[in-house]
Amino acid sequence: MEYLIILISVFLICAVAKWRLKLQLFRSLKEALTVIGSLFIIGSVWDSFSIFRGYWVFNKEFFVGITIGLMPLEEYLFMLVIPFMTLVVYRIARR
Protein backbone atom coordinates (compact mmCIF):
# COMPACT_ATOMS: atom_id res chain seq x y z
CA MET A 1 0.00 0.00 0.00
CA GLU A 2 2.91 2.31 0.78
CA TYR A 3 4.23 2.17 -2.79
CA LEU A 4 0.78 2.99 -4.19
CA ILE A 5 0.48 6.01 -1.89
CA ILE A 6 3.88 7.28 -3.04
CA LEU A 7 2.94 6.85 -6.72
CA ILE A 8 -0.38 8.65 -6.25
CA SER A 9 1.35 11.47 -4.37
CA VAL A 10 3.97 11.92 -7.10
CA PHE A 11 1.27 11.89 -9.79
CA LEU A 12 -0.88 14.46 -7.98
CA ILE A 13 2.03 16.81 -7.31
CA CYS A 14 3.08 16.65 -10.98
CA ALA A 15 -0.48 17.02 -12.26
CA VAL A 16 -1.00 20.14 -10.13
CA ALA A 17 2.36 21.57 -11.28
CA LYS A 18 1.47 20.86 -14.93
CA TRP A 19 -1.93 22.51 -14.53
CA ARG A 20 -0.73 25.53 -12.51
CA LEU A 21 2.21 26.24 -14.82
CA LYS A 22 0.17 25.45 -17.95
CA LEU A 23 2.82 23.06 -19.23
CA GLN A 24 2.40 21.41 -22.62
CA LEU A 25 4.15 18.05 -22.52
CA PHE A 26 3.27 16.88 -26.03
CA ARG A 27 2.27 18.48 -29.31
CA SER A 28 -0.64 16.09 -29.85
CA LEU A 29 -2.59 13.24 -28.29
CA LYS A 30 -1.05 10.86 -30.83
CA GLU A 31 2.45 11.88 -29.75
CA ALA A 32 1.52 11.45 -26.07
CA LEU A 33 0.05 7.99 -26.62
CA THR A 34 3.04 6.92 -28.72
CA VAL A 35 5.64 8.06 -26.19
CA ILE A 36 3.86 6.92 -23.03
CA GLY A 37 2.65 3.69 -24.66
CA SER A 38 6.14 2.82 -25.91
CA LEU A 39 7.71 3.47 -22.51
CA PHE A 40 4.97 1.44 -20.82
CA ILE A 41 5.45 -1.56 -23.10
CA ILE A 42 9.25 -1.50 -22.96
CA GLY A 43 9.27 -1.09 -19.18
CA SER A 44 6.69 -3.82 -18.63
CA VAL A 45 8.52 -6.32 -20.82
CA TRP A 46 11.87 -5.43 -19.21
CA ASP A 47 10.51 -5.80 -15.68
CA SER A 48 8.63 -9.01 -16.45
CA PHE A 49 11.74 -10.57 -17.98
CA SER A 50 13.85 -9.50 -15.00
CA ILE A 51 11.34 -10.96 -12.55
CA PHE A 52 11.07 -14.17 -14.59
CA ARG A 53 14.87 -14.55 -14.59
CA GLY A 54 15.01 -13.90 -10.84
CA TYR A 55 17.01 -10.67 -11.03
CA TRP A 56 14.64 -9.11 -8.53
CA VAL A 57 11.44 -9.79 -6.62
CA PHE A 58 8.78 -7.62 -5.03
CA ASN A 59 8.15 -7.72 -1.29
CA LYS A 60 4.40 -8.37 -1.11
CA GLU A 61 3.93 -6.53 2.19
CA PHE A 62 4.37 -3.15 0.43
CA PHE A 63 1.77 -3.73 -2.31
CA VAL A 64 -2.03 -3.95 -2.43
CA GLY A 65 -1.93 -7.56 -3.62
CA ILE A 66 -3.20 -7.17 -7.19
CA THR A 67 -0.84 -8.90 -9.58
CA ILE A 68 -1.08 -8.83 -13.38
CA GLY A 69 1.22 -11.37 -14.95
CA LEU A 70 4.42 -11.34 -12.92
CA MET A 71 4.16 -7.78 -11.62
CA PRO A 72 2.09 -6.02 -8.97
CA LEU A 73 -0.35 -3.34 -10.11
CA GLU A 74 1.86 -0.63 -8.63
CA GLU A 75 4.70 -1.51 -10.99
CA TYR A 76 2.47 -0.92 -14.00
CA LEU A 77 1.44 2.42 -12.52
CA PHE A 78 5.14 3.20 -12.04
CA MET A 79 5.56 2.80 -15.82
CA LEU A 80 3.00 5.59 -16.31
CA VAL A 81 3.70 7.94 -13.41
CA ILE A 82 7.50 8.17 -13.62
CA PRO A 83 7.68 9.17 -17.32
CA PHE A 84 4.96 11.76 -16.60
CA MET A 85 6.95 13.08 -13.64
CA THR A 86 10.14 13.18 -15.70
CA LEU A 87 8.48 15.19 -18.47
CA VAL A 88 6.93 17.65 -16.02
CA VAL A 89 10.27 18.20 -14.26
CA TYR A 90 12.03 18.56 -17.63
CA ARG A 91 9.52 21.16 -18.86
CA ILE A 92 9.80 23.10 -15.60
CA ALA A 93 13.61 23.05 -15.84
CA ARG A 94 13.47 24.25 -19.45
CA ARG A 95 11.58 27.37 -18.32
Which residues are bridge partners to 67 per DSSP? Answer: 72
Cβ neighbours of residue 26 closer than 8 Å, sequence gap 6 or more = 32, 35
Cα 68 to Cα 75: distance, rounded to the nearest angstrom: 10
The number of distinct structural domains making up the chain is: 1
Instruction: Dump pLDDT digits (tens) for 13-70.
Output: 999 999 999 999 999 999 999 999 999 999 999 999 999 999 988 888 888 989 999 9
10 Å CB burial of residue 40 (0-12, 13-18, 19+) is: middle
Q: Which of 40, 41, 53, 51 is nearest to 79 (CA)?
A: 40
Cα 44 to Cα 68: distance, rounded to the nearest angstrom: 11
State the pTM of this model.
Answer: 0.85
Provide the domain limits for residue 59: 2-94
